[in-house]
Amino acid sequence: MLTWLALHPEEPVFLRDLARQCGLSVTPVHRQLGKLEEIGLVESEVVGNARRYRLSPRFPALGAVKDRLSLA
């Protein structure tokens, strides 16, 4: 999930689409996105009655996260 978000930094994604892309069900993806949003790694925006998610470019350790995912 983090890898997909990191590979598509300019492409906010809806919860269901992210779950589908990762081959996961919506509930665990929703839980993890909530936790990641709490620590500031992920940010979301409301679009209609849904949310779109992306990695937060303001997260202080974003470079280290991308290094860990081998994406930097």
Measured distance CA(26)–CA(72) in Å, rounded: 28
pLDDT of the residue at 44: 95
Domains assigned to the chain: 2-68 (1.10.10.10)
pLDDT of the residue at 21: 94
Measured distance CA(43)–CA(26) in Å, rounded: 17
pLDDT of the residue at 34: 96
- Per DSSP, 41 falls in state S
8-28 per-position pLDDT tens digit:
888 899 999 999 999 999 999
Residues of the chain with pLDDT under 50: none
Phi, then psi, of 43 in degrees rounded to 5: -125, 155
